[in-house]
Amino acid sequence: MADSTASSASSGPRAVPSQEDRPVYVIGGGPGGLAAAQALRAKGVRAVVLERSDQVGSSWRGHYERLRLHTTRGLSSLPGLAMPRSFGRWVSRENVVRYLEKYAEHHELEIVTGVEVSRVERAPDGEGWLLRASGGRELTGRAVVLATGFNHTPYVPQWPGREDWSGEFLHAGSYRSPAPYAGRDVLVVGAGNTGAEIAVDLVEGGARRVRLAVRTVPHIVRRSTAGWAAQYSAVLVRRLPVRLVDRLARTMCRISVPDLTAQGLPRPETGLYSRVREGAIPVQDAGIVEAVRTGRVEVVAAVEGFEGDAVLLTDGSRVEPEAVIAATGYARGLEPLVGHLDVLDARGRPVTSGGRTPENAPGLYFTGFTNPISGMLREMARDAERIARAVARGVRAGA
């Protein structure tokens, strides 16, 4: 038997409700999930947010302390509540958390914490969806919005010898501040935004030596030039032809970012927007350009493996850091939830997003699983409105 609401789940199962009585379940209490719940509520559709932790915004609470949004405050607000001007232009991690808490309270969202959904299936009666969750719960909803997050499951390559390496090893998801690394030799692996910012954080926090292992040279852009945020340009050009944007970006980067070839970061041969279309977002300069230019962050080759006290690099060299921080990304972690529904591509990403649902899984929506150049929070806000419109149309049609 299935239970239609999260609140009644704790008191035991009861009869399967009609489709009209079933809410929309939103899995994940981060920005994407909260935005979707608010947009649905504004359309008169009951939405219940299921969050596996004990409070909203859990992923943001776990990010490193230095983190600030790379998108402007004005283009990062969720539907129905602007971020306060007092947060400044580049909002801190702490203030993002405060904003999410206020957002949930302001809109009086229906949120149930401590409930982890393990599998999403079609409802036994063929109408809507059945969610299998912690504590033996079975919840039925007319639709489901998956918003479990882009950075869900830390990914670490299977480097030979790592398990026997004698130094300290951690994924960037476990990094909080530079304090434990003051006076130490640290190797950061991965030159995306996270790796670049952690490297700068370590230098400024007193690490004795910081090296940055780079496999694919990133595009680096200024977060803001003469007051013009990079995000503004990203929003303006995202519908333009890829080759045109590549040419424009190449010119802009040559003007605004110094050539770091001598320091080990040559300008990439592949165009910036071509890389974005493949899923690689450019690094926004939050200090990495100056740190590399002055040698405070040393660029080295990619990691090949581990051996004794040493880390082996792809150029044949060896380094012996005291700690390695792997800024090697995340997996979406959707396979256990919906892998059996044939709604993911070969890389584990949803085949649809926003207001579109897979043809073979109507009523199943995804948000927050892309990393658009125009800003993730902005796109999740737009996704929320699209999802709400699509669900409301289905409700009116009796779906």
Alpha helices in the chain (DSSP H): 6-9, 31-42, 58-61, 93-106, 193-204, 230-237, 242-256, 272-277, 288-293, 335-338, 376-396
| Domain spanning 6-152+332-396: CATH superfamily | FAD/NAD(P)-binding domain (3.50.50.60)
CA separation for the pair 383, 338 (Å, rounded): 20
Calculate the average pLDDT of the chain: 92
pLDDT grade, residue 7 (50/70/90)? very low
Mean pLDDT within 112-127: 94
Residue 398: pLDDT band by 50, 70, 90 thresholds?
low
Higher pLDDT, 265 or 14: 265
Query: What pLDDT band is residue 14 in, cutting at 50, 70 and 90?
Result: very low
Answer yes or no: is pLDDT of 5 > 80. no
Amino acid found at 51: E
Q: How many residues does the chain have?
A: 399
357/12 Cα distance (integer angstroms): 31
As a whole number of angstroms, the distance between CA 179 and CA 242 comes to 42
pTM of the model: 0.89
Percent of the chain with pLDDT over 90: 84
Strands 24-27 and 47-51: parallel
Instruction: Give the β-pairing of 310-313 and 129-133.
Output: unpaired
Nearest to 220 by CA among 250, 198, 244, 241: 250
Question: Starting from the edge strand earliest in sequence, which strands make up the sheet with 185-189, in order?
Answer: 168-171, 323-326, 185-189, 209-214, 297-301
Cα–Cα dist 371/18, whole Å: 37
For 36, the token pair is 């979707």
Closest residue by Cα to residue 23 from 154, 140, 170? 140
Domain boundaries, the chain: 6-152+332-396, 155-326
Q: In what order do the strands lie in the sheet with 143-146?
A: 110-113, 47-51, 24-27, 143-146, 364-366
d(CA 41, CA 34): 11
Q: Which CATH class is domain 155-326?
A: alpha beta
